[in-house]
Amino acid sequence: MTAATMKRPAVIGAVLAAVTAVWLFTAPQYWLFTATTGLTLGISTLGLLVLVGWAREVSLAQAGLTATAIYLCGFAMRSGAGWHWPYLASAAFGVGVVVALSLLVSLSTAKLSGIYIIILTLALQITIEKTFFSDITLVQTDPDHTIHRPALFGVHLTSDRAYFLFALAVLVLGMVFLARLRASRFGRGLILAGTDRQAAAAVGVSPWRAKISAFALAGVFAGLAGVVTAPLYPTPPSYISYLSINSLVYLAIPVLAGFRSLVAVAVVAMVFSVAPQAFEHLHISPLLLGAIGLLSGTLTGPTGVSGLVLAWLHSRRARRPADEDRDAAAVDLRDPSGGDDASRRERHARALAVLEAYLPERSDAREVLVASDVSIAFGGLQALADVSLTVPTRKLVGLIGPNGAGKSTLFDILNGLRQPDSGSVLLFGQDVSQAPPWNRAALGLSRTFQSSRVNLDLTVGENLMAGAYLMIPGSVAEAVAGLPRAKAGERRAGEAARAVAELLDVAGDWDEFVRNLDFGAQRRVEIGRSLLSGPRLLLLDEPAAGLDAAEAAALFALVRRLEQDLGLTVLLVEHYVKAVLENCDLIYVLARGRIIAAGSAAEIAADPEVRAVYLGEDYQPRTEERVDA
Specify the pairing of strand 586-591 against strand 594-599. Answer: antiparallel
Rounded to the nearest angstrom, the gap between the alpha carbon of residue 449 and the centroid of all alpha carbons in its chain is 17
Return the residue of 189, 219, 258, 290 that touches another protein, per CB under 8 A: 290
Which of the residues 234 through 253 are near another protein (CB under 8 A)? 243-245, 248-249, 251-252
Cβ proximity to another protein, 126 vs 179, nearer residue = 126
Burial class for 533, CB neighbours closer than 10 Å (0-12, 13-18, 19+): buried
Cβ proximity to another protein, 376 vs 396, nearer residue = 376
| Residue 441 near residue 201, CB atoms below 8 Å | yes
Cβ contacts of residue 520 below 8 Å, gap of 6+?
546, 547, 548, 551
Cβ proximity to another protein, 291 vs 309, nearer residue = 291
Least distance in angstroms from the C-beta of 56 to another protein: 5
Return the residue of 40, 44, 66, 109 that touches another protein, per CB under 8 A: 109
Angle 613-619-624 (CA atoms, 0-180°, nearest 5)? Answer: 130
Burial class for 118, CB neighbours closer than 10 Å (0-12, 13-18, 19+): middle
Which of the residues 67 through 106 are near another protein (CB under 8 A)? 104
Which of the residues 51 through 70 are near another protein (CB under 8 A)? 52, 55-58, 60
Q: What would you measure as the largest C-alpha separation in the chain, in angstroms?
A: 96
Element (H, E) at 2: none
| Residue 581 near residue 623, CB atoms below 8 Å | yes
Cβ proximity to another protein, 135 vs 324, nearer residue = 135
Cβ proximity to another protein, 201 vs 399, nearer residue = 201
Least distance in angstroms from the C-beta of 132 to another protein: 8
Cβ proximity to another protein, 125 vs 363, nearer residue = 125
358 closest CA partner among 467, 495, 463, 200: 495
Cβ contacts of residue 475 below 8 Å, gap of 6+?
486
Least distance in angstroms from the C-beta of 583 to another protein: 30
| Residue 307 near residue 260, CB atoms below 8 Å | yes
Which of the residues 296 through 335 are near another protein (CB under 8 A)? 297-298, 301-302
Answer yes or no whether residue 209 interacts with another protein by CB under 8 A: no
Return the residue of 42, 47, 187, 194 that touches another protein, per CB under 8 A: 194
From CA 36, how far away is CA 501, in angstroms rounded? 45
Cβ proximity to another protein, 287 vs 381, nearer residue = 287
Cβ proximity to another protein, 40 vs 415, nearer residue = 415
| Residue 42 near residue 270, CB atoms below 8 Å | yes
Total residues at the site for another protein (CB under 8 A)?
64
Helical packing angle, 160-182 and 262-278, nearest 10° = 150
Rounded to the nearest angstrom, the gap between the alpha carbon of residue 331 and the centroid of all alpha carbons in its chain is 29
* Stretch near another protein under the rule CB under 8 A, chosen from 1-9, 80-88, 194-202, 324-332: 194-202
Return the residue of 419, 434, 450, 623 that touches another protein, per CB under 8 A: 419
Which of the residues 110 through 149 are near another protein (CB under 8 A)? 110-116, 118-120, 122-124, 126-127, 129-131, 134-135
Phi, psi values for residue 112, rounded to 5°: -95, 170
Which of the residues 470 through 489 are near another protein (CB under 8 A)? none
Cβ proximity to another protein, 262 vs 289, nearer residue = 289
Sequence length of the chain is: 629
| Residue 372 near residue 505, CB atoms below 8 Å | no
Least distance in angstroms from the C-beta of 125 to another protein: 9
Return the residue of 69, 91, 98, 255 that touches another protein, per CB under 8 A: 255
* Stretch near another protein under the rule CB under 8 A, chosen from 148-156, 281-289, 501-509, 578-586: 281-289
Least distance in angstroms from the C-beta of 116 to another protein: 5
Compute how many other C-beta atoms are within 10 angstroms of the C-beta atom of residue 324.
Answer: 11
Least distance in angstroms from the C-beta of 589 to another protein: 25
From CA 580, how far away is CA 574, in angstroms rounded? 7
Cβ proximity to another protein, 251 vs 506, nearer residue = 251
From CA 603, how far away is CA 597, in angstroms rounded? 9
Phi, psi values for residue 45, rounded to 5°: -75, -15
Show the binding pattern over residues 426-445: x = contacts another protein (CB under 8 A), - = does not. Answer: ----------xx--------
Least distance in angstroms from the C-beta of 133 to another protein: 9
| Residue 562 near residue 568, CB atoms below 8 Å | yes
Q: Which residues bind another protein (CB under 8 A)?
A: 52, 55-58, 60, 104, 108-116, 118-120, 122-124, 126-127, 129-131, 134-135, 194, 196-199, 201, 207, 211, 243-245, 248-249, 251-252, 255, 283, 285, 287-288, 290-292, 294-295, 297-298, 301-302, 412, 417-419, 436-437
